[in-house]
Amino acid sequence: MQHLIETQQFDREALNRVFEIATSYESKRDESLRGKILASLFFEPSTRTRLSFESAMLRLGGNVLSMENASESSSATKGETIEDTIRIVDNYSDAIVMRHPEAGAAARAATVSEVPIINGGDGAGQHPTQAFLDLYTIAREIGRTDDFHVAFVGDLKYGRAARSLAYLLGKYDKVRMTFVSAPALKMKDDIKEYLNESNVRFDETEDIKRAMEIADVVYQTRVQKERFPSQEEYLKFKGAYVIDRSMVDHMKKGAILIHPLPRAGEIAPEVDDSPHAVYFKQAGYGVLVRMALLKTLLGEGKKTIRAYRRRK
């Protein structure tokens, strides 16, 4: 069974094939997944991931069963386990995209599902399809996936999107990373150990202005209120790294500013019409990438994805 749980399942060649498919779907729809059903099972609120997956499935001629507030469903409130929920839902669908606040939840689902599980984000764990669309955005906007400098800014401790992209970029050549955050929100050691093993250069700083001046890609992230143990802890960091127009105007020519969205004040509105700001285009690219992934999982390209093996 082909599940999409983590970025590690893709190598460069496989990602290139997915990106080629994604580009081929620009301004295009087809009926190749007619008769297929995607179950959209979200135990945590989502706008972009859920709607872009549903849009992608519909653009491929398929159908969607959607549950946005799965944590409030009768089954969840009665104490049903993730495993039992998946055993039920896989009777109704050909694939399941799932978001859950618990890291590792998608892996648990994959152990029992009879249909492909797609990880739509699991707590502070991974968000592989976000990483793929982020990389696709970089490829489209700066024209390369090797030999560039990316600055990750904000909540790097809890931010699954930044973690997933940092892991993915470890597969590419001459990528340099700068992690910009408060000490309490630093990138976790597991990612840094992986980057060291992969011979990826990185440094850490609290100086956002300098990082933005030298980076080819600035990846801003939201300080995630829902991940903090208390409101007081969250308020310590909210607003710590806000990007305004003057900062963006000092970015290198051709450099881009991206964000997984939603933003919560960390990018000022006056930045939106800067040529460096591509975060709304990035969200649009998400539909193309997810069309390509659904086509790969449910269509002819299943062998593109390495089989998921749960770690012991």
Residues ≥6 apart with Cβ < 8 Å to 111: 83, 310
Annotation marks residue 296 as catalytic: no
The string of DSSP letters for 2-13 reads --B--GGG--HH
Element (H, E) at 222: none
Please tell me whether 303 is known to bind a ligand: no
Please tell me whether 38 is known to bind a ligand: no
50 vs 68: CA distance, rounded Å? 8
Please tell me whether 51 is known to bind a ligand: no
Please tell me whether 59 is known to bind a ligand: no
Annotation marks residue 127 as catalytic: yes
Please tell me whether 48 is known to bind a ligand: yes
Q: What's 230's DSSP letter? A: S
Closest CA to 37 of 81, 97, 79, 87: 97
Closest CA to 222 of 132, 128, 158, 129: 158
Closest CA to 126 of 75, 65, 180, 194: 194
* Burial degree of 207 (CB within 10 A; 0-12, 13-18, 19+): exposed
168 vs 170: CA distance, rounded Å? 5
Please tell me whether 262 is known to bind a ligand: yes
Please tell me whether 160 is known to bind a ligand: yes
**Which is the catalytic residue, given 28, 78, 253, 312?**
78
25 vs 242: CA distance, rounded Å? 35
**Which is the catalytic residue, given 17, 23, 48, 227?**
48
**Which is the catalytic residue, given 36, 50, 108, 127?**
127
Annotation marks residue 210 as catalytic: no
Annotation marks residue 48 as catalytic: yes
Please tell me whether 130 is known to bind a ligand: yes
**Which is the catalytic residue, given 7, 36, 49, 259?**
49
**Which is the catalytic residue, given 36, 59, 99, 259?**
99
Active site residues: 48-49, 78, 99, 127
What residue numbers does the annotated binding site for L-aspartate cover?
Answer: 78, 160, 222
What residue numbers does the annotated binding site for carbamoyl phosphate cover?
Answer: 48-49, 99, 127, 130, 261-262
